[in-house]
Structure 1
Amino acid sequence: MWNTLDKPRIVVVGGGIVGLCVAWHLAWRGLKPIVVEARKPHAAYAGNAGAISHGSVAPLAMPGVLRQVPKMLTDRAGALHIPARYWLRAMPWLLRFVASARPAQVEAAATALASLLYGAPERHREILEEEGALDLLRAQGQMYLYRDDAQMAKDEAGLDLRRRHGLRMEVLDRAGLVAFEPEVAPAYTRAVFLPDHGSCVNPARLAEVVAAGIRRMGGEIREAEIRTITTEGRRVTGVTTDDGDIPADRVVLAAGAWSARLLAPLGIKVPLETQRGYHVMLPDSGVQVGRVLSPADRKVFITPMEDGLRVAGSVEFAGLDAPPNEARAQLLLGDLRAVFPQARTAGATTWMGHRPCLPDSLPVMGPVKAWGGLWCAFGHGHLGLTGSAPTGALVASAIAGENPNFDFAPFAVERF
C-alpha cells in the first residue's frame, strides 16, 4: 500500500458498471480515481437484463457450436443474427469462437469464470450496503423454462458444467414450476430453478448509486471523449480527451466494446466484438413475475424491475456504428408472448446496447505487460453486471498492491 504522499494518480477510462466498480473500490481505498465517461448512447450498463448469475460459468461457445453457424448467418429472426453485410468482418471472430469450443478450452474457461464470479452476489451487496441501496437487489433466484424433457436434455452439458462448479439447481415439473410462476404458459412443462442467483431491479440506478459513492469518497467523474492513451517510453502517462489531457500514473481501460480501439495504437490487437443486445420495457404488462425467467427455446431474459417488466436478449453482429435495428427489438415481444400470451404490451419502449464480447467468453483483466501502469477491465460479454463488482474488487486490490489471491493469467490481454 502507498502512504498518503505517494498515492498514484489513477484514471479509469469508461463509466459503465465495470469501470464504476473498479473506481468505487479504488476510492474506498483512498486512491481518489478520475473516471472519464464518454456517455456513449448505446453503453450496455443501463439496459441489461439485470441478472446476477455467479454460476453462469459455461462459455457461449460449447462443443457442437459449429453446427449453429449457418443459422447465425441466415436466420433473421434467430437469437443470434449476423447481417450479410457484416459476414466478412465477423468471420475472424467466429473462427476463434468455434475454435474455443474444444472441450479442454471450455473446461479451462469455466474454471476461470468460476474463479472470477464466485462470491459475486456478496461483492454487489458490500457496495450497496455501504451506499444504503440494498433495495436494488432481488434475491428470489432465477428459472430456466423448458417445453419438455427433450428440450432440457439439449442444455445438459451447460447445466452439468454449472453443477460441477457448485451451482445449486432444482429440476421442476409443471406443478413445481407453477408453484413459483403460476402465469407461465402451459406449453412450458419443465424448469430448472437456481435459488442462489438473483437480479438487480434497476441497472441504471445501480450505476448512479455507485457513481455517487465514488464522488462521496473523493473520486471524480468527468464527461469527455477519450482520444488516446498517452505514453512515454514503455509506460502510460495519462489520456488525451476532447477536453484536454489528463496525466496519470495508472490507467485502467474499462471502455467496454470501445476498448480495442484504444489499445490498437499501442500495438495491442484484441478480438473484441460488439454483440448488440436489445430490450423492450413494459410499464404495465399485467402479469406477475417473481424472478428472472429464461425460456430456453427463446434465449431471452424476462426480468421484473421497479419500473416494469423487461425482456432482454437477442444478439446481433453489426459493429459499433450501425444504428439500432428496431425489428430485432420487436422480436422480443414475440418471445414474451410465448411465455405470457396474456401480457399487455401497450406503452412498450425499446433499447439497444453494445455487449463487449471475446470469443473465449473471458474478459480481459489485469496489468498489461508491454506498458507499465496500464490495466484492463473489459470484455465481460453477457456477464457484465454479474462480473462488475468482483472485477472492481480484484483489480483495485491488485493496483493497490494488496496481492489478491487471484490468478489474472487466464484473463491477460497477452493470451491473444
Structure 2
Amino acid sequence: MTAETNADSVVVGAGIVGVMAALYLQAEGRKVLLVEREEVAAGASAGNAGILAFPEIIPVASPGIMFKAPKWLLDPLGPLSVPPTYGLKIAPWLFHFWRASSRKAFAHGIAAQTEMMHLAAAEMRRMRETPELAGFFDTTGTLDLYDSEASFDAAASDWLEKEKAGFQFTSVGRAEIDRLQPGLAPQFRHAMYSPAGIQVNDPKGLTRAVADLVTARGGALRKGEVRDIAPNADGAIITLDDGATIKATSVVVAGGAWSKTLAARLGDPVPLETERGYNTTLPAQAFPLQRQLYFNDHAFVVTPLSEGIRVGGAVELGGLELAPNYRRSKALLAKAARFLPDLKTEGGREWMGFRPSMPDCLPVIGRSSASPAVLYAFGHGHLGLTQSAATGRLIGELAAGRPASLSLAPFRPGRFLRGG
C-alpha cells in the first residue's frame, strides 16, 4: 500500500527556478511543497557561472547561424558540439533551431527577451534587498572581450540592440582594459564594459538560501522523483518513483532538463534539449580576478565566486544519458590559461551539469494543455539564474488568476506545434 499526501501547491524541482516559484506562490498565500529528485541546487543551479546576465537579449538562433554551426559541430571541443551518437536524436531540435533563426523569429525573440530581462532585473532587485539574500550579490561589472577589431566590429549590431533595450555599456581600448582587469593577454585590445554587471558569488548557496526562506515561511521539502502527473477535477495527482502519491490543488513543473518527459505525458511535446555545461572552479588565489570576463569569440566566461574562480561555458547537446566528456572543461581551462597568462590552473574542481534548452532560447512559462492547474516553468538555458525571480513572479500571477506582468504568448508551451 502506497502513502498518500494532500498538498496545496506542489513545485516539481528545487533548482533556482523552482525555489523562486515556491517563494512567489507563498506570497500569493499558497502553501507550498517542493519535490526534488536529488537535493536543493543539485544541478545547474550549483554549477552556473553566477552572472546576472540581464543584457543578454540576443538569441543564439540568429540569421546566418546555420552557416557557422557546421564548423562548430565538427569540432568536438568547440563552442557548440553534438556527439555523433546523439546526432539523430537532436535532429528535431535542430530543425526548430533553424526555423527560430529567421529574421522575423530573431526579432520576435529579442523583443520577448527584452521584456523578460527588464522584469528579471526588477524582481532580482527585490531579492537583493531581502536581508537573508543580500550577501550573495556583488556588483563587479562585466568586461566583454574580443580577439580582434574584426570580431569586435562584427558584434556591433548586437550591442546596438542592447543599447536600444536600455542597457548601458562603454567601448574600451587596451589602456582601460588593463585598468579594469590587469593580466590579460596582449591580443585583447577591444572590449565592452558594463559597470552594472552583477555577480552571484555563490549560486548554490543562493538557491539553498531561497529554499530555506520557503521552509521558514511554512513550506515543505520532499525528496522523490516525479513519475507522473494526472490532472483531475480537484487539481492533479502526482506519483513518485516509490509509488507514493500526492494530491495537489496545483502543480508547477520546474524540473529543468527533466521537465520534457512530464510535459509530454501531459500532452505537451515541447522540443526541449539538454545542454551539457562544463566548468572548472579554481582556488581563489589562482588569479587576481576583478570582475566577470566574457571571452566572446570563444563562448566562455571566467567569473569570481566566494569559493574561487569559475571557468566555464560552451555548449554540448548530448542529452541526459551520455557520460561526461571532461576534455571540454580541460580545453576551456587551457584557453583561459592562454588568455590569462598568470592563471594558476592547479587544484581545480571539474563539473558537468544539464541546462534545459529550447530552440528559440525562450523558456516555457504557461499552463499545461491538460489542465489549468498544471503550470510550466522550465527551459531557460543559460539564463535560469538571471530569469528565476521573474519566472517566479509570473508563476505567482498565473496561480492567482491575475494578468501577467508581461505577455506570455512568446513562452507558451505549444508554440512549436503546427499552427502554434
| TM range, smaller chain | over 0.9
Asked if structure 2 preserves the Cα contact closer than 8 Å seen for 1:30 and 1:217, the reply is no
Bigger drift between 179-188 and 204-213 goes to 179-188
Q: Which residue of 1 aligns with 2:69?
A: 69
Which residue does 1:283 correspond to in 2? 283
CA distance in 2, matches of 1:72, 1:147: 18
Measured at CA, do residues 328 and 263 of structure 1 come closer, stay the same or move farther in structure 2, by a change above 3 Å? same
Distance in 2 between the 1:119 and 1:80 partners? 29
Aligned to 2:293: 293
Q: Does 1:302 align with 2:310?
A: no
Deviation at 1:210, TM superposition (A): 0.2
- 2:45 is paired with a residue of what secondary structure? coil
Provide, for residues 317-357 of structure 1, a one-character-per-residue CA deviation record: whole Å limited to 9, x for no partner: 11111121111111121121132111111111100011100
Cα deviation for residue 285 of structure 1 reads 4.4
Between the aligned partners of 2:62 and 2:195, the Cα distance in structure 1 is: 24
Alpha-carbon distance between aligned partners in 2 of 1:373 and 1:131, rounded to the nearest angstrom: 33
- 1:82 aligned residue: 82
Correspondence 1:141-156 to 2 at 5 A:
141-156=141-156
- Cα deviation code 1:179-199 (max 9, x no counterpart): 111121211111101223311
Distance 2:405 2:90 in 1: 36
**CA deviation digits over 1:256-299, x for unaligned, max 9?**
11111111122220100001001100014432112110112221
Which residue of structure 1 aligns with residue 12 of structure 2?
13
Whole-angstrom distance in 1 between the partners of 2:356 and 2:286: 34
Distance 2:148 2:378 in 1: 37
Letter of the 2:216 counterpart: R
Q: CA deviation at 1:53?
A: 1.1
Match of 1:35 in 2: 34
Distance 1:70 1:147 in 2: 22
Residue aligned with 2:289, SS? coil
> Comparing 173-182 with 236-245, which one deviates more in the overlay?
236-245
2:231–2:370 CA contact under 8 A, matched in 1 = no
Aligned to 1:211: 211
Report the equivalent of 2:360: 360
Count of residue pairs the alignment pairs up:
409
Tell me which amino acid in the other structure corresponds to 2:251. Answer: V
Q: What is the correspondence of 1:220-299 to structure 2 with a 5 Å cutoff? A: 220-232=220-232, 236-243=235-242, 244-299=244-299
8 Å CA contact retained: 1:363, 1:411: yes
Counterpart Cα distance in 2 of 1:42 and 1:86: 25
Partners of 1:343 and 1:391 in 2: CA distance: 37
Q: Post-superposition shift, 1:404?
A: 3.3
Distance 2:348 2:403 in 1: 47
d(CA) in 1 for partners of 2:249, 2:306: 40
1:145-190 CA-partner distances (Å, limit 9, x unpaired): 0122111122223222222211111100111111111121211111
Q: Distance in 2 between matches of 1:121 and 1:96?
A: 29
CA RMSD of aligned residues (A): 1.8
Q: Which residue in 2 is equivalent to 1:160?
A: 160
Q: Amino acid of the residue matched to residue 97 of structure 2? A: F
Secondary structure, counterpart of 2:47 in structure 1: coil
Distance 1:312 1:20 in 2: 24
CA contact (8 A) 1:238 1:247 kept: yes
Q: Aligned partners of 2:228 and 2:82: how far apart in 1?
A: 30
Per-residue displacement from partner, 1:87-134 (whole Å, max 9, x unpaired)? 111121112112111111111111111111114244223234334231
- SS of 1:280's partner is strand
| Whole-Å separation in 1 of the counterparts to 2:78 and 2:331 | 9
Instruction: Tell me the distance in 2 between the aligned counterparts of 1:88 and 1:137.
Output: 42
SS in structure 2 of the partner of residue 248 of structure 1: strand
1:236 offset after TM fit, Å? 4.3
CA shift for structure 1 position 316: 0.7
Provide the secondary structure at the position in 2 that maps to 1:319: coil
Consecutive unaligned residues of structure 2, counting only runs of 5 or more, are 1-6
**Matching residue's letter, 2:328:** R
Distance in structure 2 (CA, Å) of the matches to 1:401 and 1:266:
21
Distance (whole Å) between structure 2 residues aligned to residue 286 and residue 256 of structure 1: 32
Deviation string 1:379-406 (CA, Å, 9 cap, x unpaired) is: 0011111010111112112212332332
How far apart, CA to CA, are the structure 1 residues paired with 2:179 and 2:119? 28
Deviates more, 1:196-205 or 1:279-288: 279-288
Matched residue SS, 1:262 = helix
For residues 124 and 369 of structure 1, the distance between their equivalents in structure 2, rounded to whole angstroms, comes to 30
127-136 or 356-365: which moved more? 127-136
SS in 1 for 2:208: helix
Percent of aligned pairs with the same residue? 35
Indicate yes or no: 2:123 matched with 1:123.
Answer: yes
Paired with 2:54 and 2:48, the residues of 1 have a C-alpha distance of 16
Runs of 5+ in structure 1 lacking a partner? 1-7
User: CA–CA distance in 2 between the matches of 1:127 and 1:150?
Assistant: 39
Answer whether contact 1:73 1:87 (CA < 8 A) is retained: no
Moved more, 39-48 or 260-269: 39-48
User: What is the TM-score of this pair, normalised by structure 1?
Assistant: 0.94
- Aligned counterparts of 1:261 and 1:362: Cα–Cα separation in 2: 19
> Partner amino acid for 2:312?
A
Could you say which residue in structure 1 is the equivalent of 2:3? none
In the alignment, the residues of structure 1 paired with residue 335 and residue 252 of structure 2 have an alpha-carbon distance, to the nearest angstrom, of 38
Structure 1 stretch displaced more, 193-202 or 165-174: 193-202
Partner of 1:193, secondary structure, is strand
For 2:77 and 2:232, the matched residues in 1 are separated by 49
Aligned to 2:109: 109
Range that drifts further, 148-157 or 198-207: 148-157
Q: Which residue of 2 aligns with 1:55?
A: 55
Higher mean displacement: 220-229 or 118-127: 118-127
1:73–1:84 contact (8 Å) kept in structure 2: no
Instruction: Provide the rounded CA distance (Å) in 2 between the counterparts of 1:86 and 1:42.
Output: 25
- The residue that corresponds to 1:343 in the other structure is 343
What is the aligned partner in structure 2 of residue 3 from structure 1? Answer: none
Cα distance, 1:59 vs structure 2: 0.5
Q: Given the superposition, is the C-alpha separation of residues 307 and 48 from structure 1 closer, same or farther in structure 2, using an over 3 Å criterion?
A: same
